Amino acid sequence: MIEFLTHINPGFLLVIVGIIGCFTPVKRVRQALMVATPVVAMILLAMADRGINLSTTAVLDIELVLYKVDSLNFIFGLAFLLAAFLNAIYALHTDDRLQDGMALTYAGAAVSATFAGDLMTLFIFWEITAVSSVFLILRARTKAAYQAAMRYLGIQILSGVLLLDGLAYVYKSAGSLRFDEIGTFLSFEDPGAKYVFAAFAIKAAFPFLHNWLQDAYPKATVVGAVVLSAFTTKLAVYAFARMFPGFEILIWIGAIMTVFPVFFAVIENDLRKVLSYSLNNQLGFMICAVGIGTPLALNGAAAHAFAHIIYKGLLFMSIGAVLYRVGTTKASELGGLWRSMPWTTIFCIIGAVSISAFPLFSGFVAKSMTMSAVAKEGYVIIWLMLLFASAGVLEHSGIKIPYFTFFGHDTGHRPKEAPFNMLLAMGLAAAICIAIGLPAFAPGFGYDWLYGLLPCTAAVGSAVCEVSGKAVVSYEPYTLEHILTQMQLLMAALLAFILLKRFGLYPAEKPGTILDTDWFYRRWGYGLAKWSGQVWGKAGPAMTGVAGNAGGRVFDRLEEAFSPRGALAKGALTSGMALWSAVLLGVVMLVVLLSS
């Protein structure tokens, strides 16, 4: 029985239990299932054999690999399961069957897609992530959330359609959809590569395709935003690492992704939207590393994704706790909360220093690998862009989030501390941020545990590393050079913030909506829709009347000809039509028979 379970994709378990949870009215039973299922799934994953197809099936002569574990998807899958476990604990104070069930289903779809061994299985769960995650926005039950959810769903379904188009081309050219037979895309010569790339780009929130993230995440429920931050975009990073390692254009796209969100995050007032821009920024580091494609860079992308899922979730949890107690995440309406929410303040600071890559925290041991990989390959401009982006991370996520939420100007709010289950989830996430950031004083301790899971380590081989044709490498983050470089950068950014605040040059936190590339559809699109509505309001009745009259005349003629009372139903013509219809049908059947 145990052997049978270890051959089942653990994501399937989460999806099934998540659906069951939607129909489980007893709160304690449902929440016990939500918390226990990811734990069971992690145990099954740990017992699974790596490098072989554990579960396969055939549908319409297409071989589907439903479950395959290797060193690349193992670390992503483990991070997703950890996030699902923490998210379930964080949601224990709520009693929302649909939210609980869809959150676990969403996590399960992401896990299932990660362990898929072929493009078709990936596509199926790619779409399930889109459908299940939209409920986490809808459950906010506001008009803005509904509108954002519809926009979000549309763009996510578009990603799925593009992926389906791409896999059709791939199947035609390669005759298979299995990753181990397709290999990786090294150019756009295969038309399928373009469609697959575009599908991944949407979910990874590439520049000009990113607005669904800042539009939807801040409007989700308190729990929903935490859940959303973990899965969709990191699934896209995994997909790029699986199919596009060493794809050079990703280097520049990733670098641009790290830089542009900094400017918007600085002036944004909604702190959940600040975290959404910060999420864009962090994705850029991972995408850039995938584009470099060397073993060190791929290790950096995987390590960064793992660490990011935890510390970004921690930051969304802390701001979510503030939203739950105060009712707002506007920086202009917050401040002084450390007095009544001390534990939430501490956990938020741990998340902030982790994302800022302070030594002794998870971000340092992950991000430094990407920076080293970029420098080693000689990309000077890219390295400078990432360096600037690293300073920006400290400013908008490391300083702005905790400062304006818990310190800054005191607005007089004195809410209760977050519920115990929220504190427990935040405490566990904070502990992970610290544990994997510590120096490796012993084997399996500190960052050595995380590095042992990476796809291009000496202990565990990986298909993507073998494709790169280069030897696996080891890495030591705690060198004097790395520590001094990072601390100089962090202190310079901190000093800049202090001076800007001291001389009144830091942008004031003001209510309002900050638009970036969504300006085109929010302003132009809205204007076009409004103009079209006005035109239709004036010309519509007349056009409808003309069309109705013309349609009526056409219908009358058709009825006159073909109805039982019509001319074609009278006399010998009826039997003649029946005879010729039979002859034509026979000819068609003969042609089909001869051509088969």
Gap between the Cα atoms of 275 and 192, Å rounded: 34
R_g (Cα) of the chain, nearest Å: 28
Average pLDDT over residues 530-558: 68
Q: How confident is the model at residue 583 (pLDDT cuts 50, 70, 90)?
A: low
Q: Is 541 helix (H, G, I), strand (E, B) or coil?
A: helix
151-155, 224-228, 243-247, 394-398: which range is least confident on average?
Answer: 394-398
**Between residues 596 and 512, the one the model is more confident about:** 512
The answer to whether the beta carbons of residues 288 and 422 sit under 8 Å apart is no
Over pLDDT 90: what percentage of the chain? 61
Whether residues 217 and 252 share a domain: the answer is: no
The pLDDT score that the predictor gives to residue 468 is: 45
Whether residues 259 and 204 share a domain: the answer is: no
Flag whether 552 is in a domain.
no
In this predicted structure, the answer to whether residue 522 has a pLDDT above a threshold of 80 is no
Q: What is the 3-state secondary structure (H, E, C) of 402-438?
A: HHHHHCCCCCCCCCCCCCHHHHHHHHHHHHHHHHCCC
Whether residues 363 and 322 share a domain: the answer is: yes
The answer to whether the beta carbons of residues 136 and 90 sit under 8 Å apart is no
Whether residues 59 and 126 share a domain: the answer is: yes
Gap between the Cα atoms of 393 and 387, Å rounded: 10
Flag whether 327 is in a domain.
yes
Q: Select, from the ranges 206-210, 224-228, 583-587, the one with the highest average predicted confidence (pLDDT).
A: 224-228
The pLDDT score that the predictor gives to residue 573 is: 46
Spatial CA neighbour of 278 closest among 270, 114, 369, 510 = 270
Average pLDDT over residues 1-11: 80
Whether residues 166 and 257 share a domain: the answer is: no
Whether residues 350 and 220 share a domain: the answer is: no
The first and second tokens of residue 115, run together, are 């362990």
**Between residues 186 and 115, the one the model is more confident about:** 115
Gap between the Cα atoms of 53 and 65, Å rounded: 7
In this predicted structure, the answer to whether residue 577 has a pLDDT above a threshold of 60 is no
Gap between the Cα atoms of 179 and 562, Å rounded: 56
Flag whether 547 is in a domain.
no
pTM for the complete prediction? Answer: 0.87
Could you give the C-alpha distances from 155 to 162, 202, 231, in angstroms and in order? Answer: 11, 8, 16
Looking at the DSSP bridge assignments, the partners of residue 8 are none
Q: Is 330 helix (H, G, I), strand (E, B) or coil?
A: strand
Whether residues 24 and 159 share a domain: the answer is: yes
Whether residues 278 and 421 share a domain: the answer is: yes
The pLDDT score that the predictor gives to residue 566 is: 55
**Between residues 568 and 9, the one the model is more confident about:** 9
Gap between the Cα atoms of 245 and 371, Å rounded: 17
Domain count of the fold of the chain: 3
What pLDDT, in 10s, does the model give residues 291-350?
Answer: 999 999 999 999 999 999 999 999 999 999 999 999 999 998 998 899 999 999 999 999
What pLDDT, in 10s, does the model give residues 81-138?
Answer: 999 999 999 999 999 999 999 999 999 999 999 999 999 999 999 999 999 999 999 9
The pLDDT score that the predictor gives to residue 557 is: 64
Q: Are strands 62-68 and 53-59 parallel, antiparallel or unpaired?
A: antiparallel
User: Residues in the chain, how many?
Assistant: 596
Gap between the Cα atoms of 563 and 561, Å rounded: 6
Whether residues 355 and 301 share a domain: the answer is: yes
Last residue of a domain, one of 409, 444, 478: 478
One-letter amino acid at 516 equals D
Looking at the DSSP bridge assignments, the partners of residue 56 are 65
The pLDDT score that the predictor gives to residue 592 is: 46
In this predicted structure, the answer to whether residue 466 has a pLDDT above a threshold of 70 is no
Flag whether 341 is in a domain.
yes
Whether residues 372 and 223 share a domain: the answer is: no
| Helix (H), strand (E) at residue 156 | helix 143-174
The answer to whether the beta carbons of residues 413 and 336 sit under 8 Å apart is yes
Flag whether 490 is in a domain.
no
- Which structural domain range is residue 43 located in? 1-233
Gap between the Cα atoms of 311 and 363, Å rounded: 8
Dihedral pair phi/psi, residue 57, rounded to 5°: -155, 170
**Between residues 271 and 62, the one the model is more confident about:** 271
In this predicted structure, the answer to whether residue 572 has a pLDDT above a threshold of 80 is no
In this predicted structure, the answer to whether residue 191 has a pLDDT above a threshold of 70 is yes
Over pLDDT 70: what percentage of the chain? 83
In this predicted structure, the answer to whether residue 467 has a pLDDT above a threshold of 50 is no
Flag whether 529 is in a domain.
no
In this predicted structure, the answer to whether residue 515 has a pLDDT above a threshold of 80 is no
Average pLDDT over residues 186-198: 90
Q: How confident is the model at residue 139 (pLDDT cuts 50, 70, 90)?
A: very high
Whether residues 372 and 400 share a domain: the answer is: yes
Flag whether 344 is in a domain.
yes
| Average pLDDT over all residues of the chain | 86
CA angle 34, 109, 8 (to 5 degrees): 85
Last residue of a domain, one of 478, 510, 532: 478
The pLDDT score that the predictor gives to residue 32 is: 96
Flag whether 80 is in a domain.
yes
The pLDDT score that the predictor gives to residue 78 is: 96
Gap between the Cα atoms of 288 and 285, Å rounded: 5
Average pLDDT over residues 186-205: 92
Q: What is the DSSP string of 430-482?
A: HHHHHHTTS--SSTTSTHHHHHTTSTT-SSS--HHHHHHTS---------HHH
The 8-class DSSP code of residue 507 comes to P
What pLDDT, in 10s, does the model give residues 468-479?
Answer: 444 456 789 999
Whether residues 121 and 11 share a domain: the answer is: yes
Residues with Cβ < 8 Å from 583, sequence gap 6 or more? Answer: none
Which residue's entry shows tokens 């409920």?
Answer: 135
Which residue's entry shows tokens 């209760």?
Answer: 416
Last residue of a domain, one of 167, 201, 233: 233
The pLDDT score that the predictor gives to residue 498 is: 83
What pLDDT, in 10s, does the model give residues 173-183?
Answer: 888 899 988 88
Dihedral pair phi/psi, residue 156, rounded to 5°: -70, -40
